Amino acid sequence: MSIGDCSEQSIPTTGSGNPKVGKFEHSTTHSEGVNEVTYLIDISVANEEGGFCFAAHAEVTGPEGGETAWAEGTPFEGKNWAMYVEANVSDCEVVDDGGGVK
């Protein structure tokens, strides 16, 4: 997953507009059977109005074997099926882990 200010085009892309998946700042490997992953991201990634963009890419195993998946959103400019999502902090779930709201 890559996340940042939409106006700063913070999601790494190639010169042709394709995302650089290997350069995304958040990634982990999961064992078979994991269907959901949650990342807690510091609110400072949002701009002054609370807006941010993210691209979420996964390598998944389906009934036909391995494939890739993207969070549904706006297509990148390149010639691929990759997408990014424009969101606002007000759309996010508030989490309190006992140490304060994040």
pLDDT in tens, 42-68: 888 888 888 899 999 998 887 888 888
79 within some domain: yes
Helix (H, G, I), strand (E, B) or coil at 101: strand
Is residue 99 over pLDDT 80?
no
Is this model's pTM higher than 0.75 or not?
A: yes
pLDDT for the residue 67: 86
Question: Could you read off the pLDDT of 71-80 as tens digits, one per residue?
Answer: 999 999 888 8
> In sequence order, which residues have a C-beta less than 8 Å from that of residue 61 and are 6 or more positions away?
32, 67
Q: Does pLDDT of 40 surpass 60? A: yes
Domain assignment of residue 70, yes or no: yes
Does pLDDT of 81 surpass 80? yes
Domain count, the chain: 1
* Burial of 46: CB neighbours in 10 Å, binned 0-12, 13-18, 19+: buried
Task: Classify residue 102: in a domain, yes or no.
Answer: no
Is the residue at 99 inside a domain? Answer: no
Indicate whether 76 belongs to any domain.
yes
Q: Residue 98 has what pLDDT? A: 66
- Whether 96 maps to a domain, the answer reads no
In a domain, 25, yes or no: yes
**How far is the CA of 62 from the CAs of 29, 30, 38, 84, in angstroms?**
17, 15, 20, 22
**Would 97 be classed as within a structural domain?**
no
Residue-range definition of the domain harbouring residue 45: 2-91
- Checking if the pLDDT of 39 tops 60, the result is yes
Residue 102 has pLDDT above 80, yes or no: no
pLDDT at 30 over 90: no
